[in-house]
Chains A and B, each alone.
Chain A
Amino acid sequence: MSRIISRFAYRFLLRLHPASFQNEFGAEMLWIFDEEDQQSGAAYLLFDGARSLLRQRFRLQNDPGQLSIASGTIITGPGMSPLRLLQGGVSVLLIFFCLIRVLSHANSLFPDVKWADRMSCYTLTLEAPSHAEVVLTSTP
């Protein structure tokens, strides 16, 4: 089930890439995702896909149509409208939500260990300055 969700999330990530990149490499990236899913783990591939998306969308270039945050200001041109930025933000949030769901599902496979159940409590008492007595008491 988690595999289907992660594949869906990856396809969604690919769809957010610029159309030219998607057309050129999208099918091959999905093929590699299917091949590598077992070996590398979906979380790593999703992270790599998200990083690639950010690089493609927000690459710092001299191109005025792209985002520039070098001077501390966000300049948007015809290639990056505020609506696109909003869409990107919402998409990233959605992807992270899916990732957290997948990871929390994976964590549920392992037993939850409560350390408080296992730890004993020790008390250290120093009696007098001339001779020190150490009293160790264990409380269940």
Chain B
Amino acid sequence: MVSRDTSNGPLSAATLHILLALAGGNLHGYGIIKEIRRSSEGHYRLGPGTLYDNLKKLMQAGLVADAAQVSPPKRRSAATKEDDRRFYTLTREGKDALAKEVDRLQSVVSQARLRLRESRARV
């Protein structure tokens, strides 16, 4: 099942933030929350319920995958609590969807700049 907002765009704010966080590298759930908080400078908050609800949809849509299934898991010789966590990775489809969304946002920004310039010229 591919959900509407992950196949045709525009992506929801939560989906976009999750994909952006994973574009920097594989992360576990809490890592994604912390990365989103850091990159948005605390302006965007994502709770665990919203995160996993979106991750589930993204995994079903094939945009995000379990990192352990994509590449072999790390050696557990110096296992810490973090090593036990499930890591998520962006798939090729996920990267494409993110690139498409960034292009869409880019065109929105270009349009907005043009309109603002025109309205300033009229005043």
Chain B contact residue count (CB 8 A cutoff):
17
Q: Are B50 and A52 in contact (CB under 8 A)?
A: yes
Cβ–Cβ contact A28 & B50, under 8 A: no
Q: Which of A36, A44, A50, A55 contacts B33, CB < 8 Å?
A: A36
Report the tally of A-B residue pairs with Cβ distances under 8 A. 60
Beta-carbon contacts under 8 Å, B1-36 to A: 1, 28-30, 33
Chain B interface (Cβ within 8 Å of chain A)? 1, 28-30, 33, 45, 47-53, 55-56, 85-86
Q: In the complex the two chains form, what is the Cα distance from A55 to B47 in whole Å?
A: 14
Q: Assuming the A-B contacts A21-B56, A49-B49, A52-B52, are A28 and B86 also in contact, with contact meaning beta carbons closer than 8 angstroms in the complex?
A: yes
- Contact A45–B47 (Cβ < 8 Å): yes
Given known contacts A28-B28, A28-B29, A32-B33, is B85 in contact with A51 (CB within 8 Å)? no
Give complex CA distance A40, B33 in Å: 11
